[in-house]
Amino acid sequence: MSQSDQPVAIVTGAGRGLGREHALALARAGYAVVVNDLGGAGDGRGADATPAAQVVAEIEAWGGRAVADGSDVANWQAAGQLIDKAVATFGRLDALVNNAGCLRDRTVANFTEEDWDLVVGVNLKGTAAPLHHAARYWRDLSKQTGMPVQAAVVNTTSASGLYANAGQGNYAAAKAGVAALTVVAARELARYGVRVNAIAPVAATRLTDSVMSDAAKERFDPTRVSPLVVYLVGPQASAVTGRIFELGGDALVAVDPARPVAGLRAEGGVWTPEHVARVAPGLIEQLPPEMTIIDAGRFMQTLPVSSGAAERA
């Protein structure tokens, strides 16, 4: 493959944890990789260029191509420079993996404005900003050539956002926002040939260190998540867009985003509070049982085992 034929991927937050594994897996799958990482602590404080540089060195050591980038993805302008850097360094952009994230777990009554701004900033704006700049790049390219590009985005949501984990209001709100943004972007960018999907990983990293047993850490090795990312950006997923998958250990789950379940129309066209009060309990009864993050974990453990054939659950 000549260098100009080599596909190019950006992975944000790729200095450590899941992002590091995604970057290494994409490099092994033949991508030149922009390894973005601000390099701060798990709660979003500080910066360090070392983790991203180490991942680049690892990729280059076995003959891959990679470049480090220390942009803060929550900074709109820096996120634009990140997209420009991929194109300036490697001549093109085929895949964007929005993975950077941070945590500051507090209840709604306890979180501060700073906790809110930082967690929503990194997880949600830090997804929206690179997505926006990449979308502009691909839209303009598609208009220039008169052809759809073949590009893909993988965003990172979380079971915390999908199933509303108590104690993580800031993080869950940001990750639920990422899930909604994924579907919106998939609908908007399809005409330019850009697919957008999201993953909700479960992995032993510094973010989950305090909540996982040693057995769980082994089971949820972060390397086990990256094959989903490689699939989603690649040609085998050419018809897959606007979808959300959970992957943790050996379990892969397709998640249905919120949809209406039961409803009534008011006689005379207008609801009164009393009329709502009479029918609301009956509507609620028709909803599926509430799914917590613990229920979702149990669900994963009850899944049938796939042998590798194209099976249905």
Ligand X SMILES: NC(=O)c1ccc[n+]([C@@H]2O[C@H](COP(=O)([O-])OP(=O)(O)OC[C@H]3O[C@@H](n4cnc5c(N)ncnc54)[C@H](O)[C@@H]3O)[C@@H](O)[C@H]2O)c1
User: Catalytic residue positions?
Assistant: 158, 171, 175
The amino acid occupying position 239 is A
Task: Give the nearest distance from C-beta 109 to ligand X in angstroms.
Answer: 23
DSSP string over 109-131: TT--HHHHHHHHIIIIIHHHHHH
DSSP secondary-structure letter at 168? B
The smaller minimum CB distance to ligand X, of residues 45 and 143, is found at 45
The smaller minimum CB distance to ligand X, of residues 149 and 177, is found at 177
Phi first, then psi: give them for residue 242, nearest 5 degrees.
70, 20
Q: Which residues bind ligand X (CB under 6 A)?
A: 12-13, 15-19, 36-40, 42, 44, 51, 72-74, 99-102, 122, 126, 156, 158, 200-203, 205-208
Phi first, then psi: give them for residue 142, nearest 5 degrees.
-65, -40
Task: Give the nearest distance from C-beta 1 to ligand X in angstroms.
Answer: 29
Helix (H, G, I), strand (E, B) or coil at 156: strand
CA distance 140 to 244: 27
The smaller minimum CB distance to ligand X, of residues 122 and 152, is found at 122
Task: Give the nearest distance from C-beta 289 to ligand X in angstroms.
Answer: 23
Residue 225 CB neighbours (<10 A): 27
Helix (H, G, I), strand (E, B) or coil at 57: helix
- Quote the tokens at residue 117: 């701004």
The smaller minimum CB distance to ligand X, of residues 158 and 197, is found at 158
- Quote the tokens at residue 30: 């033949």
Task: Give the nearest distance from C-beta 284 to ligand X in angstroms.
Answer: 29
The smaller minimum CB distance to ligand X, of residues 169 and 201, is found at 201
Q: CB-side exposure of 265: number of CA atoms within 13 Å?
A: 2
Structural contact between residues 37 and 70, judged by C-beta atoms closer than 8 angstroms: yes
The amino acid occupying position 85 is K
CA distance 263 to 282: 9
Task: Give the nearest distance from C-beta 307 to ligand X in angstroms.
Answer: 26
